[in-house]
Structure 1
């Protein structure tokens, strides 16, 4: 049996083992991460969908939230949506107060949260299968297996696959849509046209930004196909009515075939969308329309309104009033494993060197370019997760470059190329697994020892470290704790010492817990009472003065993957 045969037989087994180890670690990590910022709101909205309506924050479409709510719903969890919830969305923790079951402890809520996190993990596994299919379509099965190994050991992907949020479902449905587009371009028959329409609709019903991502990708892929091998375009255009009809029908189905007045859907209180609609003549008119899936159109309107509001973005130690075009490139560079950055750049070089410009390969690179291009015009600089859709395609082109090199080398060099590839993949797996359970706050060597100097929010501190904060104080004789942490769940449900909230200019002694998001001076609000998630206090304090007095002290510990600093100040 020659080396190639042994390699081809071993690779599927190795891939399954790598995926299995990652999934086991990810399942275990679910009980070790406290509720992150967005989770309760998504779970509540998903439960509302199962109960027959969809009015809680329709700015996020329902398909992604269904994944987070399905197991809690099957276990009997329900929501009771109060009339004022839409105007006070963040009261009681991002709609968490709508849950009919009240939890008496963090342990009880921890169990509920674990069940909600299983759905996105299932989507992650399905996405890995899709990665394999696209890799096989791109070149061969080896490309598919290597791409799966890369994806299954990418920290950002692993992190968000264990959280009840919208990001991993969005990643999976966007990849599905691109895969179905490739199949349709290869053969634009009725069956594939219907499937493509369904895929596009599911991507849009997972995240509205898919409209901006998938549509240009379709155009570019079709142009590349025609450029590389001229074909008659009439069969493609002839199928567009089928695709459009199927897409619209699928969207309507996802919204439970609802029908009504767009204006009857409540405004999302967190967006102050009422003023936006009133000041825009088009949106004001749209609200008078009675249409299928009114929640869909209201969600599009809310999304547009949000994009009109400047959102501050933290980058490189500064709070940018409207974000920065450099946010996503810098985030990508510091949060992607060095091994994957190397493989990606290597694949670009190999593709250019061997002039491998077939339409599918160029299409994968084009999709990556489109995602980053869209990121430049986004004012939402709150986490690399917002372009998580790019990682399957980066994994695919990286795997493509590796397999091409091994194929092109002579027999005497194939062996060494295989060894180097195995070492790189093994290094990435080792790096990622060693971060357990802190993939959310993972940074590579470029990020340095103090990555909060670069980025925070959902890339470092998203509220995930409170269970470890409990563990730190367990058994310690500590009577009181001054606290200022990023969270969306009642702090007094955690087993912590008696707490008081510490403001940005309040100098305190004793035990202090402050999360990186707050320490980096990002929020201009706080709580009067840590046990009350309703009464926010606005801080009219200049950015450079927030918690400035704390800079001269060194923390005695960091927990939650470095997301929470703990101080003991005696002077």
Structure 2
């Protein structure tokens, strides 16, 4: 092991290993990006980003900041893509509709280009993860951290989609890495870099607001009574450098919105969320002070908080809850993390208690602060739609596990070393479902085949298998398909001919049902002509009684119901009713 460590420490070898691993992730991501149909939120992210690049406006859809949407849409500027010039709409899917109408032959390719831009960010994030791990531990641990990054199906799933989830994960990592460097060496350089990273994170997703308290906590965790800190500038100098950090962050945030509406008084706003409504109760002399925040950012943050405060159907382990489950994300990680990764986490915890020097308490506290804070806040929210909401914790869990590779010692710690090797060797098995990383569930959960009995929505079914349905219909032509699709892209645009199923009662016929709807998710379906129909909760739940004839990917079930099947269902319902009425 000592000789291997010496070899990996050489910069050419180290960067070759890291680059090879990340290139493998990039290629797997390209495969998924090409195979999967446009997913739920992707449908409007790319068109809205393209509109912002064309017009310089950011009020088309304020629910997400503009950076990653515009970043994904950059390649479209070198094509003949058209935005469709839609009017402002309260339904962001209208922008996707206009984009499809304007680019009927090429829109799939344009979405693929947008996904490639997210894969670039995944590559850069992996490089940054390697840098921080090497600074904390060793070159060998850094290579291991990148290996864990590449072998994570959850990271791969988001890396291959044109959404903000992978990007905010990378910016969490970048901001806290720069903040860690700033805490150790509070120079003007690191104050500026931390502020830039924080500003870019704010332009990526509103979740990044959590980085502000985390940076402050990180500063005190690193510096409080730390004898290793040599440079201790005067308090005035420290405050000035924190001022540079805050000012540079605000400048980046405002520049991202082209300084539109950046200096407007509080009195000019009307807020919906309870958090920001508090501001309207401030004294009048405070409400006339101009806010150095873009108007579209503040209005979008208010809208996002308002939506998160509303009740929303959440599914966990065959149960629905309107106000979320406090244990939702713990179960999500129990089901969707590969067992090898879970085992490494357990070994890391055990090793830390046995050998605290492996990961100093101060460093452990720095790494776990964003993990604990994000999980707690997400668990208290009403709107719980998938593991992607806590994806930014992954780099920090990987950093906690990374020093395990330096503990391999078959002479002194034989059993521990073999356990680590077994866990490592099992990790590539989690990629066997490619390109279906989005639908990944571990063996404890029954794999992706049974994943929908535990979790739905973006955990398994985000509209990614519409191409598979199209291929299935090309191989098995039919004129009487009934379709209930959990996705925003109108299936009719792919030439799929269908009707909506009858609700609350089965009738003979051929059906394609998305598993989120199968489990009872209320949803707005698209008819053949693209118009919308509001499906009630569990309106098609009776399909759970029947065995699907085929499973298209892991998110769409195909059924061919006969009169005999309907008779069996009716008999089962009557028997259930009798048992309920009997004393």
**So what's the TM-score if we normalise by structure 2?**
0.86
- Shift, 1:479, TM fit: 1.9
How far apart, CA to CA, are the structure 1 residues paired with 2:300 and 2:288? Answer: 12
**Alpha-carbon spacing, 1:2–1:302, altered in 2? closer, same or farther (3 Å):** closer
Match of 1:170 in 2: 168
Distance 1:365 1:414 in 2: 26
Cα deviation per residue 1:183-223 (whole Å; 9 max; x = unaligned)? 101111111111111111111111111112x1232222222
Q: Select the structure with the greater relative contact order (CA < 8 A; seq sep ≥ 6).
A: 1
Q: Deviations over 1:520-562 (max 9, x none)?
A: 11115434x2331x433353xxx4x5324323321011112x1
The Cα of 1:11 is off from its aligned counterpart by 6.8
| Shift of residue 414, structure 1, vs aligned partner | 7.2
Per-residue CA distance 1:308-327 (angstroms, 9 max, x = gap): 32222111112211111111
User: Out of 441, 444, 448, which is 1:443 matched to?
Assistant: 441
Instruction: Compute the displacement of 1:514 (Å).
Output: 0.1
Alignment counterpart, residue 17 of structure 1, candidates 15, 20, 26? 20
Q: Does the 8 Å CA contact 2:272/2:303 hold for their aligned counterparts?
A: no
Q: Distance in 2 between matches of 1:6 and 1:261?
A: 55
3-state DSSP of counterpart to 2:102 = coil
Look up the match of 2:525: 526
Q: 1:484 touches 1:503 (CA, 8 Å); kept in 2?
A: no
Residue 131 (structure 1) aligned to one of 120, 129, 132: 129
Q: What is the distance in 1 between the residues matched to 2:365 and 2:292? A: 40
Candidates 543, 562, 578, aligned match of 1:570: 562
Q: Label 1:483 to 1:69 Cα distance change in 2 as closer, same or farther (>3 A).
A: same
1:134–1:6 Cα change, 3 Å? closer
Structure 2 CA distance for aligned equivalents of residues 350 and 430 of structure 1: 25
Matched, 1:376 2:379: yes
Partner deviation per Cα, 1:316-360 (whole Å, 9 max, x = no partner): 112211111111111111001111111112112212221232422
Residue 461 of structure 2 corresponds to 461
Q: C-alpha distance in 2, partners of 1:524/1:290?
A: 38
| Match of residue 38 from structure 2 | 35
Cα gap change, 1:418 to 1:24, in 2 (>3 Å): farther
Whether contact under 8 Å (2:8, 2:140) holds in the other structure is: no
Q: CA deviation at 1:86?
A: 2.5
Task: Indicate the residue corresponding to 1:61 in structure 2.
Answer: 65
Secondary structure at the aligned position of 1:526 is classed as strand
What secondary structure does 1:239 align onto?
Answer: helix
- The 5 A counterparts of 1:306-317 are 306-317=307-318
Q: Where does residue 569 of structure 2 map in the other structure?
A: none
- In 1, the alpha carbon distance for the partners of 2:192 and 2:463 equals 42
**Displacement of 1:372 after TM fit?**
1.4
In the alignment, is residue 386 of structure 1 matched against residue 389 of structure 2? Answer: yes
Change (3 A) 1:236 1:352: farther
CA distance in 1, matches of 2:365, 2:22: 28
Aligned residue in 1 for 2:219 = 222
Q: Deviation digits for residues 387-411 of structure 1, max 9, x if unmatched?
A: 11011111111112332x23xx4x7
1:282 CA displacement: 4.1
Q: 1:557 aligned to 2:559?
A: no
Q: How far apart are 1:422 and its partner, in Å? A: 4.7
* Unmatched 5+ stretches in structure 2: 564-583
Q: 1:248 to 1:261 in 2, by over 3 A?
A: closer
Map Cα deviations across residues 137-159 of structure 1 (whole Å, 9 max, x no partner): 21121111100000011001001
How far residue 244 of structure 1 moved from its aligned partner, in angstroms, is 1.3
Map 1:225-244 onto structure 2 (within 5 A): 225-229=222-226, 232=232, 234=235, 235-244=237-246
Question: What is the aligned partner in structure 2 of residue 201 from structure 1?
Answer: 199
1:346 — aligned with what? 347
d(CA) in 2 for partners of 1:334 and 1:6? 37
User: Is 1:253–2:255 an aligned residue pair?
Assistant: yes
Cα 1:198–1:567 change in 2 (3 A) is same
2: CA distance, partners of 1:384 / 1:553:
29
Q: What SS class does the counterpart of residue 389 from structure 1 fall into? A: helix
The change in CA–CA distance for 1:378 and 1:393 in structure 2 (over 3 A counts) is: same
Describe how 1:286-297 pairs up with structure 2 within 5 A. Answer: 293-297=294-298
Say which SS state the counterpart of residue 163 (structure 1) adopts. coil
Q: Which residue of 2 aligns with 1:75?
A: 79
Within 1, Cα distance between the matches of 2:477 and 2:49? 42
SS of residue in 2 equivalent to 1:201: helix
Determine which of 109, 120, 124 is the counterpart of 2:118.
120
In 2, Cα distance between the equivalents of 1:290 and 1:123? 31
Aligned to 1:494: 494
Q: 1:283 and 1:142 mapped to 2: Cα distance?
A: 54
1:88 Cα shift?
Answer: 3.4
Give the Cα separation in 2 of the matches to 1:183 and 1:490.
48
CA offset digits 1:271-330 (Å, max 9, x no partner): xx98769x9474699899786622112112212222332222111112211111111111
Q: Distance in 2 between matches of 1:210 and 1:90?
A: 25
Deviation at 1:459, TM superposition (A): 0.4
- Find the partner of 1:400 among 399, 403, 411: 403
How many Å separate the matches in 2 of 1:493 and 1:148?
40
1:262/1:297 contact within 8 Å kept: no
Matched position secondary structure for 1:568: strand
Q: Which residue of 2 aligns with 1:546?
A: 539
Q: Aligned Cα RMSD in Å? A: 3.0
Is structure 2 residue 213 aligned with structure 1 residue 211? no
Give the secondary structure class of the aligned counterpart of 2:438: coil
In the TM superposition, residue 430 of structure 1 has moved relative to its aligned partner by 3.1
1:30 aligns to what SS in structure 2?
Answer: helix
Match in the other structure for 1:97? 97
**For residues 380 and 73 of structure 1, what CA distance do their matches in structure 2 show?**
35
> Does the CA contact (< 8 Å) of 2:548 and 2:558 recur in 1?
yes
Q: Secondary structure at the match of 1:362?
A: helix
Q: Flag structure 1 segments of 5+ consecutive residues without an equivalent.
A: 268-272
Whole-Å separation in 1 of the counterparts to 2:265 and 2:547:
53
Partner of 1:270 in structure 2?
none
Q: Supply the distance in 1 between the matched residues of 2:336 and 2:390 (Cα, whole angstroms).
A: 12
Cα pair distance change 1:495/1:418, threshold 3 Å: farther
- Size of the aligned set, in residue pairs, is 544
Contact 1:503 1:526 in 2 (8 A): no
